[in-house]
Amino acid sequence: MSTPIVIRPILTSRAECILLLFLSLPLVHSFAQTPLRVATLNELSIGTVTAGRTLLIRPSDAGAAKFRIVSDRDTTTIIRFFLPSQCSSLQGNEQLRIEYSSDGAAWSAQDAVSGSTLFDPRQPLTLQLQQNKPMYIWVGIVAYPHRFQQAGRYAANITLTVISLR
């Protein structure tokens, strides 16, 4: 049911690699038939990665993923992410280790990450949605290219699931 969103490829030199994360279209399920609308507003992208240099993308950074969730009525929702631990090279068998920190995501009822509430994207998040009032979520990442990391493009799927409880 999820379809990856293709991110535009970026050319790099041999000493660098690119991490491209394909965001799966959010999976929306409602036990009480509450219509939910989920949109990916920004794909998670760390751009050019230098071999051997750890890169951190915080929820407040431009490369963070950004989602908007809107409900047609007041409801309690559970937000879950499936977060892979590595990306695969699109050119060969190389793997790139990635992680998500305990404060690697944020949510807010305002379309501004400043003043948002940090949370751990590895854990389920329960949010109260108000009718037709958007909720915004940002997700960052930590990438650990080893010192001999091959140049090229890397990709993984991140899946956002939103479940309405009532």
- The backbone region for 85, taken as left when phi is positive above 0, alpha when psi lies in -120 to 50, beta otherwise, is alpha
pLDDT band at residue 159, thresholds of 50, 70 and 90?
confident
| Mean pLDDT, range 106-115, rounded to an integer | 95
Tokens read off for 10: 């970026």
Asked if pLDDT for residue 10 goes beyond 60, the answer is: no
Domains of the chain: 22-164 (2.60.40)
For residue 78, what are the CA distances in angstroms to 5, 64, 75, 86?
Answer: 23, 21, 10, 25
| Mean pLDDT, range 31-58, rounded to an integer | 81
Work out the number of other CB atoms within 10 angstroms of the CB of residue 123: 11
pLDDT band at residue 117, thresholds of 50, 70 and 90?
very high
| Mean pLDDT, range 81-94, rounded to an integer | 86
Asked if pLDDT for residue 81 goes beyond 50, the answer is: yes
Asked if pLDDT for residue 15 goes beyond 70, the answer is: no
